[in-house]
A and B are shown apart, each in its own frame.
Chain A
């Protein structure tokens, strides 16, 4: 089965071609090779290495496990995700929050569904860092989701003083929720970067490509993306990342 649709400067990953793991308590869709899913055509998009679309059953979760040398971003979509780590952080994140960890020289953390009676759904995104062996760090912010209505809201950047969380990489993430028929453009922040767009909900046209819920498209060698929402309350995540893995 062909899992990718590549044009000159774009690659489309349809939702139903993603890797899939169902462990009962955990159901995960992997855009890129992860754990038991290995597809040499699907390993990374630039420095974007992991895009996991996870559902965890009530009161279940990932016990204590380690990470190093990776920028790890969690974006809750539904429910409450409880996080505890070896730096002493103990938090609960929910829709509207974004969490980041720079794993650096090594951390341990656990992630559990805080709720006893409903699942939690979240994206876990891993980005290769531009600097190895940094001091581990944790951060989270609560964003005003109204600030992404019919526009793109920055949720992550390389700059600690900027809007959203920051990471050790020349990457910018934006989220948007659009009414049907609304057009917008996204201008590349750093020359040479590409953008991986992930459709959270609804339908979009991006640079001429028709995309539906949970489809992804990676685009490079462009200055901007032309984005149109084709359904009401369509939601999108844009991840601008360097294309060269150091």
Chain B
């Protein structure tokens, strides 16, 4: 789970700021935030994004299209639905998703 770049997309500006700050509070992760799908795609194209974290306020059709477009460009992208809007669940959400995609990351013995 070293040096992950995590792109958070959420429509609530204060929650977005909070989530990105919490992500950046973990020394191993870098958080960047987007408040629209256009901004998210722009950041995605210019940054090496490992994880897309989906926050609140995204309509289902837009989310489905974004997932499809990003995975076509980067099949290894990890996409997580974030619940709770803050620090409580972030660590577990990200850790579980990374473990699922890259088992050796958390279990070197595997």
Contact = CB atoms under 8 A, between A and B. Distances in A.
A65 B86 contact: yes
A40 B95 contact: yes
Contact of A132 (B12, B56, B92, B96): B56
A68 B87 contact: no
B95 A68 contact: no
B14 A33 contact: no
Interface in A16-38: 33-36, 38
Contacts of A142: none
B95 A126 contact: no
B96 to A, nearest CB: 6
B12 A106 contact: yes
User: Per DSSP, are chain A's interface residues mostly helix, strand or loop, or mixed?
Assistant: loop
Contacts of B33: none
A68 B84 contact: yes
Classify the interface of chain B: helix, strand, loop or mixed: loop
A34 B83 contact: no
Nearest to A52: B88
Contact of A50 (B11, B57, B88): B88
Interface in A24-68: 33-36, 38, 40, 43, 49-50, 65-68
Contacts of A65: 18, 86
Nearest to B10: A68
Interface string B61-84: 000000000000000000000111
B56 A104 contact: yes
10 interchain residue pairs of minimum CB distance? A68-B85, A106-B12, A68-B56, A33-B92, A66-B15, A67-B85, A66-B85, A70-B84, A69-B83, A106-B15
Given A66-B14, A69-B84, 4 more contacts: A67-B84, A68-B15, A69-B56, A105-B11
Interface of A: 33-36, 38, 40, 43, 49-50, 65-70, 103-106, 108, 126, 128, 132-133
19 contacts: A34-B88, A34-B89, A35-B87, A36-B91, A40-B95, A50-B84, A50-B89, A66-B12, A66-B18, A68-B15, A68-B85, A69-B82, A103-B84, A105-B12, A106-B12, A108-B14, A126-B84, A132-B56, A133-B56
